[in-house]
Amino acid sequence: MTIRRATGLRTGILATVFSFTLMSHAVSPANADSPSSSPKARTVHRAHITPVLHAATRAASAHAAKAAAAIHAAVKPVMTSRLIRGANGRLVRVSVARHKVLERFYASSFADDVTSGDVTEGEDPVVRAAAVAALGNMNGTALAIDPATGRILTMVNQKLALSSGAEPCSTIKLTVALAALQEGIVTRDTPVALGGGYHLNLTEALAHSNNMYFETLGRALGFERVRHYATELGLGELAGYNIAGEQLGTYPDQELPAALGGVGRMCSFGESVSMTPLQLGAIVSAIANGGTLYYLQHPTTVDEIAALEPKVKRTLDIASLIPEMQDGMLAATKYGTARSLRANFREFPVMGKTGTCSNNGTRFGWFGSFADTPRGRIVTVIFLEGGRPTFGPKAAELTGQFYRALFDTKYFDSKPAESVAANSVGTN
């Protein structure tokens, strides 16, 4: 089965017609995982604007106005003072009102003995030790996957990893980017105007996790096409093959109500979507291996390791799109929302996507990535739950610690890259 364009849903959007303006793009933080501002992309002016993009602009503006009202109701002024130089040259102290958004979290970012109950006999002990050390006492789960086979090399805190999941936050942007690329709406270099003379392309939007950019793509695609590609990539399905205790993440049948942000919000934060760590691992593995969506397998005995055969769920026609994505995923770790990874690891290229959001007093931090190593590619997913210390860049930082631990044990030197696909991978 190949990933395909959703027939009957094309709206006539052309990649060559993509210069438009969105109002109030700074009402809510433009970048979900970092306050960083990305460099402006080169502007290309077009002569005409399609009605669909006009509609996307109006919808974004309406949502921005509602978001502004919501934020205004949720902020509290904080009075500070500072010195300024007056007209006579003398310093004068003046009062300044600063507004701070208040958000309370009730979940803990830390937990004791997160490995309790894990079944580990069929896991790679070196990979597991590195993942356990990286996760530490954070309330979360860590997965490592061989993207060439779909084998789960380790799964730390299996209770959380196999749960029904959580809002994917900005990691949903991977599926939206693939959908927009497949439909010909953008390339990695297509400049998208976001108001105030500010333009962004796909590479920078992925690097800095720009919400308005992906909301715009989502509205241009429409809910049916967004859902089509998300489910083709495995959302709403079990990611594993006969993994005991695995629960199902869900993808809704209906668009989020317009009052809550509609399809745009679904494409920037994954609002109303529930994604499991295994589902994100399967998606990142498909990107890493060139388009094969494997059922993930978690052997629990030595015999199961020896008997493991890769099981293909479907083949995705995304090989030509992956280079369009990789620049942005690499930029995320070099200077974007996942740059915290480089505090611990710089030896090999790592491509990934962060995600940060919250729901009902619990904050979520995601990071899905793959690394190019001498041994071959390895996929890692770290998912965190908790309060203020929990966010996507923290998950990226822990991922850097994981790769560092493997590098220091010379794990990446233990086998040549061509043997990574063998069933015995990770049994050393």
The pair of structure tokens assigned to 182 is: 């497949």
**Main-chain dihedrals φ then ψ at residue 358, nearest 5 degrees:** -145, 160
Please, which residues bridge with residue 12 across strands? Answer: none
DSSP 395: H
Q: Average the pLDDT over 13-28 and give the result.
A: 36
Give SS3 for 82. strand
Each residue's pLDDT tens digit, 348-401 = 999 999 999 999 999 999 999 999 999 999 999 999 999 999 999 999 999 999
pLDDT of 178 higher than 90: yes
What local confidence, expressed as pLDDT, does residue 346 receive? 97
DSSP 418: G
The pair of structure tokens assigned to 207 is: 């690097």
Query: What is the C-alpha to C-alpha distance for residues 206 and 387, in angstroms, rounded to an integer?
Result: 25
Cβ contacts of 213 within 8 Å, gap of 6 or more: 192, 194, 200, 202, 205
What local confidence, expressed as pLDDT, does residue 197 receive? 84
Amino acid at the residue 66:
K
What local confidence, expressed as pLDDT, does residue 193 receive? 83
What local confidence, expressed as pLDDT, does residue 242 receive? 97
Q: Are 315 and 1 in contact (CB under 8 A)?
A: yes
Q: Are 288 and 280 in contact (CB under 8 A)?
A: no
pLDDT of 57 higher than 90: no
Average pLDDT over the chain, rounded to whole?
84
Each residue's pLDDT tens digit, 269-319 = 999 999 999 999 999 999 999 999 999 999 999 999 999 999 999 999 999
What local confidence, expressed as pLDDT, does residue 196 receive? 82
Q: Average the pLDDT over 86-93 and give the result.
A: 66
pLDDT of 14 higher than 70: no
Packing angle between helix 322-334 and helix 173-182, nearest 10 degrees?
150
- Residues of the chain with pLDDT > 90, as a percent, come to 71
Q: Average the pLDDT over 190-206 and give the result.
A: 91
**Would you say how long the chain is, in residues?**
428
Say how far residue 170 (Cα) sits from the centre of its chain: 5
What local confidence, expressed as pLDDT, does residue 426 receive? 37
Query: What is the C-alpha to C-alpha distance for residues 318 and 288, in angstroms, rounded to an integer?
Result: 11
pLDDT of 418 higher than 70: no
Residue 326: count other Cβ atoms within 10 Å of its Cβ: 19
Cβ contacts of 243 within 8 Å, gap of 6 or more: 162, 278, 296, 297, 298
DSSP 281: H
DSSP 295: P
Query: Which string of DSSP letters, residue by residue, matches 214-272?
Result: HHHHHHHH-HHHHHHHHHHTTTTS--BSS-TTPPPP---SSPPPGGGTHHHHHHHT-TT
